[in-house]
Amino acid sequence: MDYQELETFFRSLDRSFFVDNGLKEYAALDEPLPIGFGQTISQPSLVLKMTRLLAPEKDSRVLEIGTGSGFQTAILAKMSAQVFTVERIGILMELARKRLAALNFSNIYYKVGDGSIGWREYAPYDRIMVTAAAGVLPDELVSQLAPGGRMVIPIGPPDLQELKLITKTGDGDIYIKTAEMVRFVELKGQYGWI
Ligand code: SAM
């Protein structure tokens, strides 16, 4: 991954574009902000860290679970070939889709549904970014990760989780490392919280 390109794009991306009018004045803060439906746009410094950890390449096909505002999606779309993004809340997805279209991204594919089961139709993926917290590592997402692929996912109870980097070797072996402690909203669904 070109870290300089990531930094430059990250700094150029106006976070106020991804939040409601009443919150735009807070967009420059390094804090999560509400986006409705009990969900949040993540802290920008954490979005940057998670993208570095995922390390998408220019030819990567990326699965993102939890589109939210579309802020992280924009960064992934800039840094990779294609992004397949899944969001369970239809209204959030529609708002994100409009924002990302206004930014002229044409390499993003959208699905409203349960992302805890991934998006089998387009699997396998070189990278998987999960931006909601699972109780345990969803087997289905691991199976949709390509050999040589990387997945970033917060795992743990609702109040505090470990941010995990999952790597799959060319032989299909799985390695798991913990990067740091984080606090994300719950990943709902079949392989998430009810
Ligand atoms: N990355 C987003 C951004 O930049 O705005 C923030 C994501 S927010 C922390 C987590 C999102 O995951 C929420 O929008 C929530 O609705 C979504 N979510 C939770 N469980 C999901 C599931 N099973 N499938 C798809 N999306 C899910």
Contact by Cβ (8 Å): 171, 184: no
**194: pLDDT confidence band, cut at 50, 70 and 90?**
confident
Q: What is the mean pLDDT of residues 3-31?
A: 96
Superfamily of structural domain 3-182: Vaccinia Virus protein VP39 (3.40.50.150)
Question: How do the domains of the chain map onto residue ranges?
Answer: 3-182
Residue nearest to atom 19 of ligand 1 (CA): 187
- Is residue 155 scored above 90 in pLDDT? yes
- Mean pLDDT over residues 103-116, rounded? 98
Nearest-10 Cα torsion for 120, 194, 135, 109: 30
Q: Pairing relation of β-strands 125-130 and 161-168?
A: unpaired
For residue 164, give the amino acid letter. Answer: K
Enumerate residues lining ligand 1, CB below 6 A: 39-42, 65-66, 68-69, 71-72, 86-89, 92, 114-116, 131-132, 184-185, 187-189, 192
Q: How many CA atoms lie within 13 A of 34 on its CB side?
A: 6
As separate numbers, helices (DSSP H) first and strands (DSSP E) second, the chain gives: 5, 9
What pLDDT does residue 36 have?
95
CA-117 nearest atom, ligand 1: 23
Give the Cβ contact number of residue 100 at 10 Å.
24
In whole angstroms, what is the distance from residue 113 CA to residue 66 CA?
A: 10
Tens digit of each residue's pLDDT (9 = 90 or more) over 54-76: 999 999 999 999 999 999 999 99
- Active-site residues: which are they? 42
Mean pLDDT of 151-155: 98
* 76 Cα–ligand 1 center, Å: 15
- The pLDDT > 90 percentage for the chain reads 98
Amino acid identity of residue 156, one-letter, is: G
Check: CB of residue 149 under 8 Å from CB of residue 168. Answer: yes
Confidence of residue 3 (pLDDT cuts 50, 70, 90): very high
Position 6 confidence tier, pLDDT thresholds 50, 70, 90: very high
Is residue 112 classed as helix, strand or coil in its secondary structure?
strand
CA angle 86, 52, 141 (to 5 degrees): 35
- Shortest-distance Cα residue to atom 9 of ligand 1: 40
pLDDT at 157: 94
Q: Output the CA 87–ligand 1 centroid distance in Å.
A: 6
pLDDT of residue 113: 98
Please choose, from the candidates 46, 52, 45, 90, the residue with its C-alpha nearest in 3D space to the C-alpha of residue 68. 90
Tell how far the Cα of 112 is from the centroid of ligand 1, in angstroms: 11
Q: Which of 16, 40, 93, 194 to mutate to test the pocket of ligand 1 (most atoms within 8 A of CB)?
A: 40
pLDDT digits (tens, 9 = 90+) for 20-57: 989 999 999 999 999 999 999 999 999 999 999 999 99
Give the whole-angstrom CA distance, residue 107 versus residue 170: 26
- Tell me: pLDDT of 100 over 90: yes
Residue 108 confidence (pLDDT): 98
**Distance from the alpha carbon of residue 133 to the mean position of ligand 1, in angstroms:** 9
Q: Which residues partner with 193 through β-bridges?
A: 188
